[in-house]
Each structure stands twice: as structure tokens, then as C-alpha cells.
Amino acid sequence: QVQLVESGGGLVQAGGSLRLSCAASGRTFSTYVMGWFRQAPGKEREFVARITWSGGSTNYADSVKGRFTISRDNAKNTVYLQMSSLKPEDTAVYYCAAGNQYDYHAWGQGTQVTVSS
């Protein structure tokens, strides 16, 4: 199993920036893609961004395109989510996930991001 630990969440004003980190450990050899998801109170979990571990191909939800950037540091087994121009609607618990070519199989415990207006 892959273990994932998120960090970097916090409180920020609208228009500000935060960078989330996701450190992976354990059985990482089967990891093909790393993704970020978020869940706001009273809402379902939604996809935010993903990146392939080897090639670095990225995809983003329409709601965050142009504002968020996902990246990875292979040497550190770490994935990042740089969030800029934050909006109150970005407030959520952000989860890091690891998956193979078919689905996500490991999840972190989440880190809270709160954007004040």
C-alpha cells in the first residue's frame, strides 16, 4: 500500500496563494498517476487536478484552470498543488490520491484549506 501525507493547508484571504504538498511512501512502484481532490461541507468530493508520475502530463478541473498548478518531484516522491487567486469557493478539505492506470487506490487524510472573503 502507498501511504500519502498532505501538508500546507491553512487560512488565506481571497486572492492569495497556498502550496499543498503530498509526500508518498511505501509501495509506490505501481503508481501511475497522482491526483488532488477536494470536498467542501455538504458537497461531494470533486476532482481538482492530476499528473502522471513518469511523463508529467496534467489535467485540471475547469473550476481551477489557470489558477492551480500540479507538479511533482520524483526524487522526493512528492506532489504539489500550487493554488493562486484563491476564492472562497475553493474552501474544502483537499485530498491527495495515488492510482494505477485504472483507478485511485490510496488516499491521504486530507488538509484543510480555508479562503476568507
DSSP-derived letter for residue 89 is G
- Pairing of the two strands 78-83 and 2-7: unpaired
**Predicted local confidence at residue 1, as pLDDT:** 84
Helix (H) or strand (E) holding 65: none
> What is the tens place of the pLDDT at every residue in 40-63?
999 999 999 999 999 999 999 999
Instruction: Report percent pLDDT > 90 for the chain.
Output: 89
Measured distance CA(110)–CA(97) in Å, rounded = 10
Q: In which band, very low, low, confident or very high, does the pLDDT at 27 lie, cut at 50, 70 and 90? A: confident
The pLDDT tens digits of the residues spanning 78-96 come to 999 999 999 999 999 999 9
- Closest Cα to residue 49, out of 6, 87, 102, 95? 95
